[in-house]
């Protein structure tokens, strides 16, 4: 409600000053504050002065980003592409999904001047993908619905998940009391400022929302990486780090399909890992396609008909108690792909058995050791992750710390992924992830051995 405080037409400025000055409870500093707040010193050019008005000078999204030390690189990219002005002067409402400076540094962008070397149109598209042309509070994202789609300012859709994550998953029965935090992801990038919960408490409606005069901001732990004009085939062809994998796909007739509608999810093995196990472009060119099972040797890296972000693992773990995802290698009745993410392994202090856990632990002589990875992927004749249960400490260290011999059985069954910023490349027909390992050795894909 608005209240009339002073009628400027009837106000004698000098009498007011003299009256306030003579009041002993006012210091000179207080006097000046009062005068400025009433607009007396600047003159009364309004009909009246109002108290309890809504603040119409709240900072805009652009104003906040331009003056916040955590988003200097995001702000520089927005300014270079002309989008900062939209966030500063646009009436909105808008939603900004803001990657922190750490998210940019993780992909090698460390200074604002780095953007000057980039194609402005391509960069503008990626930045616009981080802006929604409407207000979206996190509580607006439906709970436990897989990959809800939202239109972005770039004209393409992103994918959102919201769910309650339970922090302690073991072989014992799972109870609701283990709920720890609300998690929200956008196209594989996690919102950074969701809160921790206790027991079964529901999250407040405004959790994770940073409001401004023309919209709302959510902070992301990493940059979303959309490629509007590239198929997964185009993306692989443009990245020389995966050229040996591309050579294998072409050799065994798996390449052309990657230009079709899909969707596909590809865990692309880096050249250095394939070379370590004797696979080069030259050796692949010399292979006889009749004596190898190509769907196993190179097709095991591809999930057909599925688009999977790394963080989707947590969604299905939390909503369906699905500890790992199993899918059969296409046209292969013997081998399965097994996908997990961010697993911590350690010994159960009561049983001495090695098992997975999501509880945080410190490393010491008296506390079980736990190892964490952004994701793990394996190929196995079984349907559970290799060395997942009932194994010794030494075996697990060989498998997950890479301390075993280069050709260890464990190495081909479980491959670790440690850098989330190399994953979730969203193309027009699927997603590509980086894989630091080899899933299948050539000798395992020989027709004569099967």
Residue 445 pLDDT more than 70? yes
Residues 6+ away with beta carbon under 8 Å from 439: 267, 269, 300, 301, 337, 377, 378, 379, 412, 415
For the segment 64-82, the average pLDDT, to the nearest whole number, is 92
More confident of the two residues 198 and 79:
79
Listed residue (304, 306, 342) closest to 324, CA to CA:
342
DSSP state of 329: P
Q: CA 250 to CA 437: how far, in whole Å?
A: 20
Residue 199 pLDDT more than 90? no
Residue 360 pLDDT more than 70? no
- Name all contacts of 84-88 with Cβ < 8 Å and 24+ positions apart: 86/62, 86/131, 87/60, 87/61, 87/62, 87/131, 87/214, 87/215, 88/60, 88/61, 88/62, 88/63
Residue 341 contacts residue 365 (beta carbons within 8 Å): no
For the segment 269-287, the average pLDDT, to the nearest whole number, is 93
Residue 244 pLDDT more than 70? yes
Residue 177 pLDDT more than 80? no
Residue that has been written with the tokens 């400076």 in this structure: 101
Q: CA 381 to CA 398: how far, in whole Å?
A: 20
For the segment 155-178, the average pLDDT, to the nearest whole number, is 64
Mean pLDDT, the chain, whole residue set: 75
Q: What is the pLDDT of residue 366?
A: 42
Q: What is the pLDDT of residue 30?
A: 47
Residue 98 contacts residue 221 (beta carbons within 8 Å): no
Q: What is the pLDDT of residue 39?
A: 46
Global pTM reads 0.75
Query: Vertex 220, ends 219 and 224: CA angle to 5°?
Result: 140
Which segments of 258-392 are extended strands (E)? 264-269, 302-304, 325-328, 336-340, 344-347, 354-357, 375-380
For the ranges 4-18, 307-321, 376-390, the one whose mean pLDDT is highest: 307-321
For the segment 228-253, the average pLDDT, to the nearest whole number, is 96
Give 211's pLDDT tier (boundaries 50, 70, 90). confident
Query: Vertex 152, ends 234 and 208: CA angle to 5°?
Result: 115
Query: Can you tell me whether residue 257 is helix, strand or coil?
Result: helix
What share of the chain has pLDDT > 70, as a percent? 65
DSSP state of 371: B
More confident of the two residues 89 and 381:
89
Residue 109 contacts residue 87 (beta carbons within 8 Å): no
Listed residue (296, 373, 297) closest to 340, CA to CA:
373
Lowest mean pLDDT among 320-329, 398-407, 426-435: 398-407
For the segment 396-409, the average pLDDT, to the nearest whole number, is 46
Q: What is the pLDDT of residue 277?
A: 86
Q: What is the pLDDT of residue 195?
A: 57
Q: How many helices (H) and strands (E) does the chain have?
A: 15, 21
CA torsion sign for 233, 239, 242, 244 is positive
Residue 218 pLDDT more than 90? yes
Give 448's pLDDT tier (boundaries 50, 70, 90). confident
For the segment 67-94, the average pLDDT, to the nearest whole number, is 90
Give the DSSP H or E segment for 73: helix 72-80
Q: What is the pLDDT of residue 437?
A: 85
More confident of the two residues 200 and 426:
426
Q: What is the pLDDT of residue 203?
A: 52
Residue 299 pLDDT more than 60? yes
More confident of the two residues 209 and 255:
255
Residue that has been written with the tokens 């720890």 in this structure: 180
DSSP state of 114: G
Listed residue (264, 267, 269) closest to 245, CA to CA:
269
* pLDDT digit string, tens, across residues 116-146: 899 999 999 999 999 999 999 998 999 888 8
Residues 6+ away with beta carbon under 8 Å from 211: none
For the segment 392-417, the average pLDDT, to the nearest whole number, is 51
Q: What is the pLDDT of residue 416?
A: 66
- Bridge partner list, 160: 148, 186
Residue 379 pLDDT more than 90? no
Set out the domains of the chain in order of their start, with CATH numbers: 3-51 (no CATH), 61-225 (2.30.180.10), 232-449 (2.30.180.10)
Residue 275 pLDDT more than 80? yes
Q: What is the pLDDT of residue 202?
A: 54
Lowest mean pLDDT among 116-120, 335-339, 417-421: 417-421
């Amino acid at each position: 409600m608005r209240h009339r405080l002073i009628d400027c037409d009837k106000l004698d400025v000098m009498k007011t000053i003299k009256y306030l000055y003579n009041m002993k409870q006012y210091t000179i500093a207080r006097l000046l504050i009062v005068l400025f707040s009433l607009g007396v010193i600047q003159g009364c050019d309004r009909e009246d002065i109002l108290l309890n008005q809504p603040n119409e000078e709240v900072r805009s999204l652009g104003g906040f980003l331009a003056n916040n030390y955590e988003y200097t690189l995001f702000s520089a990219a927005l300014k270079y592409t002309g989008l900062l002005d939209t966030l500063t002067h646009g009436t909105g409402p808008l939603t900004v999904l803001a990657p922190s400076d750490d998210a940019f540094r993780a992909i090698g962008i460390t200074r604002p001047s780095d953007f000057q070397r980039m194609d402005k149109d391509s960069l503008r598209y990626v930045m616009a993908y981080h802006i929604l042309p409407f207000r979206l509070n996190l509580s607006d994202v439906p709970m436990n619905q897989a990959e809800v789609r939202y239109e972005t300012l770039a004209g393409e859709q992103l994918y959102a998940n919201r769910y309650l994550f339970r922090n302690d998953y073991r072989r014992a029965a799972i109870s609701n009391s283990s709920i720890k935090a609300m998690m929200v992801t956008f196209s594989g990038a996690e919102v950074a400022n969701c809160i921790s919960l206790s027991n079964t408490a529901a999250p407040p409606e405004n959790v994770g929302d940073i409001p401004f005069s023309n919209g709302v901001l959510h902070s992301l732990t990493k940059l979303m990486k959309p490629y509007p004009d590239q198929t997964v085939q185009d993306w692989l062809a443009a990245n020389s780090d995966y050229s040996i994998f591309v050579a294998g796909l072409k050799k065994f007739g798996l390449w052309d399909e990657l230009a079709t509608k899909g969707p596909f999810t590809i865990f692309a093995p880096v050249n250095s890992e394939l070379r370590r196990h004797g696979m080069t472009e030259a050796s692949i060119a010399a292979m006889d396609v009749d004596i190898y099972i190509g769907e196993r040797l190179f097709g095991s890296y591809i999930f057909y008909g599925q688009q999977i972000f790394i963080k989707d693992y947590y969604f299905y773990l939390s909503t369906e108690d699905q500890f790992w995802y199993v899918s059969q290698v296409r046209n292969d009745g013997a081998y399965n792909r097994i996908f997990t993410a961010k697993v911590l392994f350690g010994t159960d202090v009561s049983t001495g058995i090695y098992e997975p856990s999501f509880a945080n632990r410190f490393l010491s002589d008296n506390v079980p050791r736990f190892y964490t990875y952004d994701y793990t992927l394996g190929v196995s004749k079984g349907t559970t992750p290799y060395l997942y249960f009932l194994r010794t400490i030494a075996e697990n260290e060989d498998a997950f710390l890479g301390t075993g011999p280069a050709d260890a059985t464990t190495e081909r069954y479980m491959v670790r992924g440690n850098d989330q910023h190399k994953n979730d490349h969203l193309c027009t027909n699927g997603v590509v992830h980086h894989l630091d390992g080899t899933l299948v050795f050539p000798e395992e894909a020989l027709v004569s051995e099967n």
